[in-house]
């Protein structure tokens, strides 16, 4: 029975890719106006169904909260649309008259879209929008715990696209989910690129598939609070970012690093904003339920509120608590909560000055957030520049909630739910992914003229005063011989 299900799952993946390839062959010939009309209708459908999809996602996965999932669906529809709307993705997208170059956009083909359980509907809306904007078809592979909501989001996007003139099959989604089907999708000969969002193992599999892939790594975002910061605002933004959709965004804050001289005042502001500071015994209890003994976060607490985690840990917290804060003194296995926690728990570190703060942030990033993001709360631009120049991350988020700033909701970064981590984290992209990452660019280049050659001075042979060049051998051969002679002479002198 299980074998039959796996075979059905594999065949479904193949059928969806076949339909997507046929659709993409038609879509690639659409004009910019046709493409823009399609994504406008998809935007409208995403907005209209934002609340419905949010309810489905929370109900099915038990992660996050309804209000914030509504916002994420709306953000993936409206905000992403407004950002990509003016982009040229068809025909000649740039003409450099001075250097006589045309740049022509070509779609990559069929894209495999891997969807996480933490953002099962907003990721689909976002990836479908950027795929079709760049004239690509896309087939989604949902997380096993979010099949129904992910499929509903894909269905809504597909219906809107087809109603606007897109070919049938341009957006597909696997219903019979299995690891075999996901692997088949990623390795299928007709799939041109993988757009992967999910756990580290899945993203690694995407990069190991032999296909071009755009994937992301873990966040483990440190939030450094420096003495010049507006502490009340810093506390507000950190709690806001950490608790947004119960911490399910990879750019959400994972640990606060505070200068000692302002730590107590910052703690007072954090408590006013709903942060509960754990005592040493409570830290152990929370660590035991939030993190697994073998490493990694416990799936049972991902996207859960502070009350749920406190009950699981057997501790009592005030009624209005929004997040739990664990004072820590180090980074690594001895301090399990120093790692990424996609839930409403924060680490808290005290440092003597910004130099020590810089080192602590680096330790946290190296423990599992390299290349991703770092938040800094400061009004000292020179210090911000120091962090920006020295930290191995691709997003430095200044005086803003990291969760929202990283995806471009509260900053000028490209609105996106795929945040590249660059080569530090083994990622092929370092910025927020947009439709421009999903196209090939052809270049037409005109002749500009032959560069003028400067005359070459003849080389004198050592000890002769005569030119190396003679009538019997070309100048190149003589020059090579002279170079070899000099190198051999140098090597012999070393031996002696």
Q: Taking a C-beta distance cutoff of 8 angstroms, is the pair 399, 378 a contact?
A: yes
Structural domains of the chain, with CATH: 2-216+434-443 (3.40.605.10), 221-412 (3.40.309.10), 458-496 (no CATH)
The C-alpha atoms of residue 427 and residue 107 are separated, in whole angstroms, by 21
User: What's this model's pTM, rounded to 2 decimal places?
Assistant: 0.90
Sole residue written with tokens 């296909």: 211
Contact between 142 and 174 under an 8 Å Cβ cutoff? The reply is yes
Q: For the chain, 496 residues long, give each residue's pLDDT as a single digit of tens.
A: 566 778 899 999 999 999 999 999 999 999 999 999 999 999 999 999 999 999 999 999 999 999 999 999 999 999 999 999 999 999 999 999 999 999 999 999 999 999 999 999 999 999 999 999 999 999 999 999 999 999 999 999 999 999 999 999 999 999 999 999 999 999 999 999 999 988 778 888 888 888 999 988 889 999 999 999 999 999 999 999 999 999 999 999 999 999 999 999 999 999 999 999 999 999 999 999 999 988 899 999 999 999 999 999 999 999 999 999 999 999 999 999 999 999 999 999 999 999 999 999 999 999 999 999 999 999 999 999 999 998 999 999 999 999 999 999 999 999 999 999 999 988 889 999 999 999 999 999 999 999 887 776 666 655 555 555 554 555 566 666 676 677 666 666 655 4
Annotated catalytic sites, by residue? 250
Question: Long-range contacts: 92-98, Cβ < 8 Å, 24+?
Answer: 93/441
Write down the pLDDT at residue 496.
42
Phi, psi (degrees; rounded to nearest 5) at 442: -85, 150
Q: Which residue has the tokens 């690694």?
A: 204
Tokens 């749920």 found at:
308
Q: What is the structure's pLDDT at 476? A: 62
The neighbour count for residue 173, using CB atoms within 10 Å, is 25
pLDDT score recorded for residue 300: 96
DSSP for 383-443, please give it: HHHHHHHHSSEEEEEESS-HHHHHTTSSSSSPP-S-B--TGGGT-S--SB--GGGGEEEEE
Q: What is the pLDDT of residue 479?
A: 66
CA distance 203 to 185: 14
214: left (phi over 0), alpha (psi -120 to 50) or beta: beta
Q: Which residues contact 357 (CB under 8 A, 6 or more apart)?
A: 224, 226, 257, 258, 259, 351
**What's the pLDDT score for residue 453?**
78
- 124 touches 150 (CB < 8 A): yes
The token duo for 157 is 């996007």
The C-alpha atoms of residue 188 and residue 238 are separated, in whole angstroms, by: 43
Reduced to 3 states (helix: H, G, I; strand: E, B; else coil), residue 477 is helix
Buried b (16+ CB within 10 A) or exposed e, 319-345: eebbbbbbbbeebeeebbbbbbbbbbb
* Sheet of strand 91-96: strand arrangement: 91-96, 101-107, 439-445
């Amino acid at each position: 029975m299980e074998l039959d299900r796996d075979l059905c799952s594999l065949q479904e993946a193949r059928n969806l890719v076949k339909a997507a390839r046929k659709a993409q062959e038609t879509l690639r010939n659409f004009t910019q106006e046709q493409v823009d009309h399609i994504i406008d209708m998809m935007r409208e459908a995403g907005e209209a169904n934002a609340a419905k999809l949010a309810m489905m996602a929370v109900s099915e996965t038990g992660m996050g909260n309804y209000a914030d999932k509504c916002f994420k669906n709306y953000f993936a529809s409206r905000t992403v649309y407004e950002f990509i709307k003016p982009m040229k993705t068809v025909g000649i997208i740039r003409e450099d008259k001075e250097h006589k170059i045309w740049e022509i956009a070509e779609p990559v083909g069929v894209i495999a879209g891997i969807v996480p359980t933490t953002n099962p509907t907003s990721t689909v809306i976002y990836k479908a929008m950027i795929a079709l904007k760049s004239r690509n078809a896309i087939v989604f592979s949902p997380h096993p715990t979010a099949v129904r909501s992910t499929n509903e989001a894909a269905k809504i996007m597909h219906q809107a696209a087809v109603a606007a003139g897109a070919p049938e099959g341009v957006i597909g989604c696997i219903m019979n989910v299995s690891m075999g089907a996901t692997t088949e999708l990623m390795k299928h000969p007709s799939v041109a690129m993988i757009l992967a969002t999910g756990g580290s193992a899945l993203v690694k599999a995407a990069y190991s598939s032999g296909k071009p892939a755009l994937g992301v790594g873990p966040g483990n975002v440190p939030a450094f609070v420096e003495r010049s910061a507006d502490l009340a605002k810093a506390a507000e933004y950190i709690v806001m970012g950490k608790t947004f959709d119960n911490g399910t965004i990879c750019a959400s804050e994972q640990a606060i690093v505070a200068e000692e001289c302002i730590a107590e005042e910052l703690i007072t502001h954090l408590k006013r904003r709903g942060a509960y500071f754990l005592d040493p015994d409570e830290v152990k209890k929370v660590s035991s339920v939030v993190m697994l003994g073998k490493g990694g976060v416990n799936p049972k607490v991902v996207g859960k509120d502070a009350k749920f985690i406190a009950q699981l840990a057997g501790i009592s917290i005030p009624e209005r608590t929004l997040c739990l804060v664990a004072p820590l003194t180090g980074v690594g296995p001895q301090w399990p909560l120093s790692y990424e926690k996609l839930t409403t728990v924060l680490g808290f570190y005290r440092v003597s000055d910004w130099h020590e703060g810089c080192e602590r942030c680096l330790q946290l990033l190296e423990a599992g957030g390299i290349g991703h993001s770092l938040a800094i709360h400061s009004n000292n631009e020179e210090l911000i520049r120091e962090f920006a120049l020295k930290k191995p991350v691709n997003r430095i988020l200044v005086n803003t909630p990291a969760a929202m700033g990283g995806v471009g909701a509260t900053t000028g970064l490209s609105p996106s739910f795929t945040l590249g981590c660059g080569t530090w984290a083994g990622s092929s992209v370092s910025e927020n992914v947009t439709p421009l990452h999903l196209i090939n660019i052809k270049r037409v280049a005109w002749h500009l003229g032959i560069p003028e050659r400067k005359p070459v001075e003849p080389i004198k042979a050592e000890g002769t005063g005569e030119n190396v060049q003679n009538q019997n051998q070309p100048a190149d051969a003589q020059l090579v011989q002279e170079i070899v002679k000099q190198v051999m002479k140098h090597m012999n002198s070393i031996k002696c």
